[in-house]
Amino acid sequence: MIDMSHFKHHVFFCTNKRQDGSACCEDHGASALRAYAKQKLKAIGNQIPGKVRINTAGCLDRCAAGPVLVVYPEAVWYSYVDKEDIDEIFESHLKKGKVVERLLVENQS
């Protein structure tokens, strides 16, 4: 039998860089903050219930809200600014299952 729940959460960071100079997540340091999230996960992963995977994504088509990340399976979209925002997502959403309301991208579906 295949284990369909190998990871409890997948966290996708948009790290897209637009060549035409229009707004994109990478303009806001998305790759550096994704790298920070990976390091943080290595440091505290055993404190989070279930396995988590930090992923890189191309354009997630939420450029105006960037930088953005999305947490699955809940499909919760966040906009973040700095390491403190990433820390709050880890502490609240990934550890405790509580959505960080102040970082939500508008028009959640």
Q: How far apart are CA 66 and CA 101, in angstroms?
A: 16
Q: How far apart are CA 105 and CA 109, in angstroms?
A: 10
Residues 6+ apart with CB under 8 A from 10: 52, 53, 55, 71, 72, 73
Burial class (CB in 10 A: 0-12, 13-18, 19+), 104: middle
Residue 38 lies in a domain: yes
Per-residue pLDDT of the chain (109 residues; tens, 9 = 90+): 555 578 999 999 999 998 888 889 999 999 999 999 999 999 998 999 899 999 999 999 998 888 999 999 999 999 999 999 999 999 999 999 999 999 999 875 5
Residue with tokens 């303009």, as numbered in its chain? 27
- How many domains in the chain? 1
Residue 3 lies in a domain: no
Residue 27 lies in a domain: yes
Whole-prediction pTM? 0.90
Residue 45 lies in a domain: yes
Q: How far apart are CA 15 and CA 5, in angstroms?
A: 25
By residue range, what is the domain housing residue 15? 9-103
CATH number of the domain bearing residue 97: 3.40.30.10
Residue 2 lies in a domain: no
Residue 69 lies in a domain: yes
Residue 95 lies in a domain: yes
